């Protein structure tokens, strides 16, 4: 059934209550590879409750995380989840995320774009607590075979990287069991754990979650370019350009500009195959 863009965009937002505490945040950080070395003071900010700060990408899993996929059941959208790919992700922070919180999450289809042979659904989630807005998150969902409904093609956002050498190059090795740990934060897709399911999807073994690469990249930027200060992050966006496997190494190149860091992420073990592209961290 074709997407009914008018119906989807006019649908009432979905609201729900979410809550988290230090255990959720510690689990998320550990799923990104935090805690090595275990006694490093810089790593204890991610792992020890008495010193804890919150990496802003925690917004993608807060409240058990995968509510964005529920948005694909909105009125006017009837699609086969086997045709769904997570194309991009952005977060705008209105203030630092507290270590313990409860909030109201409001989700809606913010935009629908017709790419011809595919559709792009932009699912927007706005989260606020008693003190006001916390963050706004957009997930760009690419749906194969669902284009042709007559909608706008939508913007093509590309970030041109500077021609000069990067200011920083960091490498982050993905532990063999990391996807198994990361999925405990809410993404139970067997593609990231079950070898047989991965083969059915066309991979010789399970792949890492794109949002895990997303979080690992932000951690690397915060820890190096931003002096370890998570409160400096104002916004963070990326386009998922390829896969990476547990056991491989992310190569994270950074170019620092006033108020932002441009980032390119590749799989170092596979001739720098693209993993994240058009990636920007905006900061104070």
Catalytic residues: 187, 192
Contact present, 9 and 112 (Cβ < 8 Å) = yes
Cβ neighbours of residue 58 under 8 Å, at least 6 residues apart? 20, 24, 25, 28, 97, 215
First to last CA, the chain: 45
Burial class (CB in 10 A: 0-12, 13-18, 19+), 168: middle
- Taking the C-alpha atoms of residue 154 and residue 94, their distance in angstroms, rounded to an integer, is 26
- Taking the C-alpha atoms of residue 107 and residue 60, their distance in angstroms, rounded to an integer, is 13
- Taking the C-alpha atoms of residue 214 and residue 226, their distance in angstroms, rounded to an integer, is 16
DSSP letter for each residue of 130-170: TTEEEEEEEEEEEEET---SS--------PPPPSSPPSEEE
Comparing C-alpha atoms, which of 30, 16, 22, 23 is closest to residue 100?
22
Cβ neighbours of residue 28 under 8 Å, at least 6 residues apart? 55, 58, 61, 185, 215
Alpha helices, DSSP H only, in the chain? 5-10, 22-31, 41-47, 67-70, 178-182, 195-200, 210-224
- Taking the C-alpha atoms of residue 41 and residue 51, their distance in angstroms, rounded to an integer, is 9
């Amino acid at each position: 059934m074709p997407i009914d863009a008018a119906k989807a965009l006019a649908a009432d937002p979905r609201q729900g209550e979410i809550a988290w505490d230090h255990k959720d945040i510690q689990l998320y950080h550990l799923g990104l590879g935090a805690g090595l070395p275990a006694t490093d003071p810089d790593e204890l900010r991610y792992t020890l409750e008495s010193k804890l700060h919150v990496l802003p990408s925690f917004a993608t899993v807060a409240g058990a995380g995968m509510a964005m996929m529920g948005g694909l059941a909105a009125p006017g959208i009837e699609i086969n989840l086997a045709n769904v790919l997570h194309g991009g992700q952005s977060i705008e922070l209105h203030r630092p995320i507290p270590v313990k919180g409860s909030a109201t999450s409001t989700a809606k289809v913010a935009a629908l774009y017709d790419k011809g042979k595919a559709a792009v659904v932009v699912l927007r989630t706005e989260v606020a607590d008693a003190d006001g807005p916390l963050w706004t998150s957009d997930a760009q969902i690419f749906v194969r075979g669902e284009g042709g409904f007559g909608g706008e093609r939508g913007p093509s956002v590309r970030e041109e990287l500077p021609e000069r050498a990067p200011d920083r190059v960091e490498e982050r090795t993905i532990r063999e069991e990391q996807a198994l740990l990361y999925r405990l934060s809410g993404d139970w897709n067997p593609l990231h754990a079950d070898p047989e399911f991965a083969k059915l999807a066309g991979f010789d073994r399970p792949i890492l979650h794109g949002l895990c690469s997303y979080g690992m990249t932000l951690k690397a930027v915060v820890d190096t370019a931003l002096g370890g200060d998570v409160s400096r992050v104002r916004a963070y966006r990326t386009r998922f350009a390829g896969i990476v496997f547990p056991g491989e190494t992310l190569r994270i190149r950074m170019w620092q500009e006033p108020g932002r860091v441009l980032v390119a992420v590749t799989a170092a073990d596979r001739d720098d195959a693209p993993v994240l592209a058009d990636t920007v961290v905006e900061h104070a």
